């Protein structure tokens, strides 16, 4: 990996380990206690996540040499190690692919200018009120020479970027409504028109940051220390325990009662494993007819409407966030409440047979990177479930992926949708639906309520699946609309 500045080369050549980075932070804290006129900020949050104990995340980086190497490379290139990467560190194979994709999308040569890429990231993250990602890209936008006036509101940005408002909101909340007419308006807007190559870059950025907002909320990611809301200059309390730790879920109460909860829930994993075994046996004995498979899909899509999320708790976006997008009242509606919108059958338009080649043709090599990221998330397994070893989890992973696509009106003809109700319980479905439609409403209670015997690393894996399945679903509708326009 090549680095642009001498300072970054110094960091890389010094073989800086995570332990070294923590020592530097400790030295900075000591410096701040001396009367030298330097105010050193300290993190507001207790670790990278409000949902996961800091010691569990740090333990991974201390024990795994591969993840240390990935972290060091990321730090050398970016000059920081963000909290999303630290939480993804539970799964180094995926993180490596994710960082490579991010680097290509945001920093390598491409159809869009660097500052436009970050501004589009801001627009996409703002649709879900994800201040974490908005603040991250505001900093990056300014660093690459973006015009500060654009940050006053979408109306201050160039007309060409303002025209993306409709595409942004439809992809974020109701992608099945996207048509070739939407694409045509962007490509034939006279002096404000986009090229096909630019539009592919735009679509990938929008879908990535919509789905990354889901991951950010789903894992309870805390603000990074260098962004707004991520630091304070107040000294720590005398007890070393801050009231805010109660709110972010990292207090000692979780440690005190954690073992008690596990003992009360014994058997949850075994029940799920037994269901997987029984379903596999049914497959081996008899395969359902195509008519029965279609009926089960219709039943599951109807039942998905009955999964109620915290819809009544209205989240009103602040001006800081809502200024970056249009029509704040526009939100998710269940696909199946719109009777005229036909189901997207994967045999008619799929990522593998259609979307992949279109992206690769208009944005060379990027389709390959995206495909690798999708495949890693979908196939990632350690053959474990909680404390059980040697478990084939493919059936469970496919049920999660297909349930999300089912919510987006996407059907796999060869999949038995009856498996979803067998493998995904109500609390898990509520979590998934909230993550996909209104991730800003995810709470620690919801995170804790599903798969209560599983490790945090397994829950992070679930969130990777949800993120990638959502991104692919949005992409399929966008790329299908572009394909229809081209033909």
Residues designated as active site: 130
List of residues 6+ apart from 426 with CB closer than 8 A: 307
What is the phi-psi region of residue 317: left when phi exceeds 0, alpha when psi lies from -120 to 50, beta otherwise? beta
Hey, what are 414's tokens?
């060869």
Query: What span, in angstroms and rounded, lies between the C-alpha atoms of 377 and 464?
Result: 6
The tally of CA atoms less than 13 A away on the side-chain side of residue 427 is 10
Bridge partners for 427 per DSSP: none
Three-state SS at 411 = strand
Do 127 and 315 contact (CB within 8 A), yes or no? no
What one-character-per-residue DSSP string does 145-196 give? T--GGGGG-GGGS-HHHHTTHHHHHHHHH-GGG--HHHHHHHHT-GGGPPPH
Query: What span, in angstroms and rounded, lies between the C-alpha atoms of 27 and 68?
Result: 21
What one-character-per-residue DSSP string does 433-449 give? HHHHH-GGG--HHHHHH
Closest among 482, 484, 478, 433 to 169, alpha carbons compared:
478
Helix-helix angle 65-78:18-33, to 10 degrees: 60
Sign of CA dihedral 165, 167, 173, 174: positive
Q: What is the DSSP letter of 235?
A: P
Three-state SS at 399 = helix
List of residues 6+ apart from 26 with CB closer than 8 A: none
């Amino acid at each position: 990996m090549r680095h642009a500045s001498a300072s970054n080369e110094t960091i890389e050549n010094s073989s800086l380990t995570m332990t070294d980075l923590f020592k530097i932070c400790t030295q900075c804290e000591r410096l701040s206690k001396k009367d030298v006129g330097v105010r050193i900020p300290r993190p507001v949050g207790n670790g990278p996540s409000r949902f996961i104990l800091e010691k569990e995340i740090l333990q991974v980086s201390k024990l795994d040499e591969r993840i240390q190497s990935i972290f060091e490379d990321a730090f050398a290139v970016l000059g920081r190690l963000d909290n999303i990467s630290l939480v993804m560190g539970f799964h180094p194979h995926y993180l490596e692919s994710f960082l490579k994709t991010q680097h290509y999308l945001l920093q390598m040569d491409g159809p869009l200018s660097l500052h436009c890429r970050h501004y589009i990231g801001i627009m996409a993250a703002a649709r879900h009120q994800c201040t974490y990602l908005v603040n991250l890209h505001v900093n990056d936008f300014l660093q690459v020479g973006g015009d500060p006036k654009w940050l006053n509101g979408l109306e201050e940005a160039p007309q060409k970027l303002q025209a993306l408002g409709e595409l942004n909101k439809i992809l974020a909340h109701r992608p099945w409504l996207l048509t070739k007419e939407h694409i045509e308006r962007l490509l034939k807007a006279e002096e404000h028109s986009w090229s096909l190559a630019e539009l592919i870059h735009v679509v990938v950025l929008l879908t990535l940051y919509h789905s990354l907002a889901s991951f950010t909320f789903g894992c309870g990611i805390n603000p990074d220390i260098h962004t707004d809301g991520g630091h304070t200059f107040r000294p720590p309390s005398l007890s070393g325990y801050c009231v805010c730790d109660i709110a972010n879920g990292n207090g000692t109460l979780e440690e005190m009662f954690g073992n008690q909860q596990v003992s009360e829930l014994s058997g949850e994993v075994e029940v799920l494993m037994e269901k997987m075994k029984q379903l596999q046996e049914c497959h081996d004995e008899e395969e359902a007819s195509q008519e029965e498979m279609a009926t089960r899909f219709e039943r599951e899509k109807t039942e998905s409407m009955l999964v109620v999320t915290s819809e009544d708790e209205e989240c009103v976006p602040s001006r800081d966030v809502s200024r970056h997008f249009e029509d704040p009242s526009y939100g998710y509606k269940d696909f199946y409440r719109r009777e005229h919108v036909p189901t997207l059958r994967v045999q008619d338009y799929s990522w593998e047979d259609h979307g992949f080649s279109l992206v690769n043709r208009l944005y060379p090599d990027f389709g390959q990177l995206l495909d690798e990221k999708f495949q890693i998330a979908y196939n990632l397994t350690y053959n474990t479930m909680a404390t059980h070893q040697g478990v084939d989890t493919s059936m469970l992973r496919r049920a999660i992926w297909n349930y999300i696509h089912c919510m987006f009106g996407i059907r796999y003809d060869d999949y038995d949708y009856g498996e979803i109700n067998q493998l995904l319980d109500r609390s898990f479905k509520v979590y998934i639906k909230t993550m996909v439609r209104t991730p800003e409403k995810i709470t620690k209670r919801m995170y804790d309520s599903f798969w209560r015997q599983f490790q945090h690393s397994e829950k992070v894996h679930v969130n990777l699946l949800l993120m990638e399945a959502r991104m692919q679903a949005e992409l399929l509708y966008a790329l299908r609309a572009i394909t229809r326009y081209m033909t």
